[in-house]
Amino acid sequence: MILSSILTGCGLTVVAAPVLVLVLLGMASLAGRPLSENATGTLMRLALATAFGALMVVVLAEVVSGARAMRADAGTWFSAPGYHFRVSFLFDRLSLPFAALTIGLGGVVAVFAERYLHREPGYNRFFVMLVLFVSGLLITTLACSVELVCAGWELVGLSSALLIAFFHERPAPVRNGLRAFVVYRGCDAGLLAAAVLVHHWCGTGDLVTLLGPGPWPSGNVPLAGGQITVLAASILIAAVGKSAQWPLSGWLPRAMEGPTPSSAIFYGALSVHAGAYLLLRMGPLLDRAPIVAGVVVVIGLGTALHATIVGRVQTDIKCALGYAALTQVGIIFVEIGFGLREIALAHIAGHACMRSLQFLRAPSLLHDFHQQQNALGGHLARTGLHLERWVPVALQRRLYVWALERGGVDALLDRILVRPFLQAFGFCDRLERRWVKYIAGYGAGSHHASEERDG
């Protein structure tokens, strides 16, 4: 009994530690007295070390007891008639490695950023966003209910958008942050819809009820085929947006406007894999929805091809790394689609660590090259020429133009989705103003400050 309470406490501490630091940093900012760089860094390290220690206790307990999953239940967060939002965290063979990655890489990036952003005006803001991201991702990863997954998922999206716009005195990062947020929010609707449907069909949002009591990766979904397909498709929409899969991958290179440490943890390591994680978690749904699994394979394959071609013409290292990451995430999607979940998990872990290292070294790339060239006494040999050897020259030119335009996907999406939306509501707005003008009797000669504002 005591052991169980200790383990539950440790499980909850994993999430509570960063959340507490988030509240502390946030409240200090709201009070107009942001903490000093030292205090912020120390708090961050303390929180992540505590969370990591607590996580290791849970791992140890599972290894010793041979249990394949443990659950830490914090009770009901709130309840309304016929609806209970339970806060419960699941520590199994899928969530444990991902949580360890989140805390570990979060810690590495935090320590790196302490020096990298030293005396940067947005130092405090960066750390608030970083801890918001870590908290959100831990909630998403460990959540045992689909509603909790949604809550964490949206926090991850917000922190990502705000960090892309970190250098907010320039318009480009801000525009790109907004673009990423639009994609996130649009795709998040898929996950929110899935949460509502799960509650509606299962009577609860509990993942164990939805996916069956068996340990991951096995599962048994107690729903009919059509329902499973709808659920899996909704979840796939959310995964595609968060993992920047084709055709929604246009925001990823734009996201590189953010500071390097955030690019490393978001688009090299964790955020970009969150979609893959979600699909892994919902794997039993994909098992019973072969059409959706097929779509996952096609999307993954398309993304890998698109990213490898477009990545070759990038002229800055962060974008090149971003596309390289996207290629791997595409391959991970293919693995998930084929049901190779353990391989996909190992692929995520390896790729996240390697890519974060590359991103964190990116600012020193020229220095590294010089060192290597000095050591070799000449230029480095060119690599990655196999595509050029295999692809006919005529096709190479077309692919080159296609890659420069990033496939024209963003422009196409703007044309078929964004523009009609804005035009439709713009038309409604004009109609509205005409109607109001008619009632108000605003004459052509009247010219007021607010009319000038209205345009």
Partner 1 sequence: MTEWQVPSSTLLAIAPAVVALFASPSMSRQAARRLGVGTTLTVLALALAVSFAWLLFGGVPACDRFDPGRWLGASPLFVVDGLNVLSLPFAALIFSFVLLVQPGTDAIERSLRRVLFSETVTLAAFLSSDPFVLAVLWSVSAAGAWYQLRSQGDDGRGAARVFASYMLPSCVLLVLGAVMLQIDSGIARGTASLLIALAVMVRKGIAPLHSWLPELFARAPLPVSVLFNAPQIGAWVAIRIIAPRAPLWVLEFISLASLLTAVHGAGMALVQTDARRVFAWLFLSQSALILVGLESQASVAQAGGLSIWISSGLALAGFGMTIAALEARRGPLSLRQFAGGYERKPLLAICFLVLGLASVGFPGTLGFVGQEALVHGVVSDFPHLGFAILVASMLNGIAVLRTYFLLFCGRLERDRISQGLRPREQFAFATLAALLVLGGLFPGPFVRSRSSAAETIRHAAGAEKTISTEPASSGRRWDAPGWTDPPPW
Residues that bind partner 1 (CB under 8 A): 23, 26-27, 29-32, 76-83, 85, 121, 147, 150-152, 154-155, 158, 161, 165, 168-171, 174-175, 177-178, 181-182, 185-186, 188-189, 192-193, 196, 199-201, 203, 227, 421-422, 424-426, 428-429, 432, 435-436, 439-442, 446, 448-450, 452-455
Q: What is the CA radius of gyration of the chain?
A: 24
Residue 88's H or E segment, with its range, is strand 83-92
Q: How far is Cα 62 from Cα 67, in angstroms, rounded to an integer?
A: 5
d(CA 111, CA 115) in angstroms, rounded, equals 7
DSSP-derived 3-state class of residue 87: strand
Count Cβ atoms within 10 A of the Cβ of residue 112 and give its class: 0-12 exposed, 13-18 middle, 19 or more buried.
Answer: middle
Shortest distance, position 251 Cβ to partner 1, whole Å: 13
What CA–CA distances, in Å, run from 453 to 254, 423, 448? 31, 20, 9
26 vs 363 by CB, closer to partner 1: 26
Determine if residue 66 is left, alpha or beta; phi over 0 gives left, psi from -120 to 50 gives alpha, anything else beta: left
Which residues have a Cβ under 8 Å from the Cβ of 236 and sit 6 or more positions away?
190, 279, 292, 295, 296, 299
* Minimum distance, C-beta of residue 89 to partner 1, in the bound complex (Å): 16
Nearest to 287 by CA among 216, 187, 365: 216
How far apart are CB 105 and partner 1 at their closest, in Å?
23
CB of 295 to partner 1, least distance (A): 21
CB nearer to partner 1: give 148 or 282. 148
Q: Which is nearer to partner 1, 64 or 440 (CB)?
A: 440
Q: Which is nearer to partner 1, 80 or 394 (CB)?
A: 80
Q: How far is the CB of 181 from partner 1 (least distance, A)?
A: 5
Identify which of residues 203 and 213 has a Cβ nearer to partner 1 in the complex: 203
Looking at the Cβ atoms of 405 and 451, the one nearer to partner 1 is 451
Sign of CA dihedral 347, 350, 352, 357: negative
Mapping DSSP to helix (H, G, I), strand (E, B) and coil, where does residue 230 land? helix
Pairing mode of beta strands 69-80, 83-92: antiparallel
Q: Which is nearer to partner 1, 405 or 429 (by Cβ)?
A: 429
CB of 140 to partner 1, least distance (A): 11
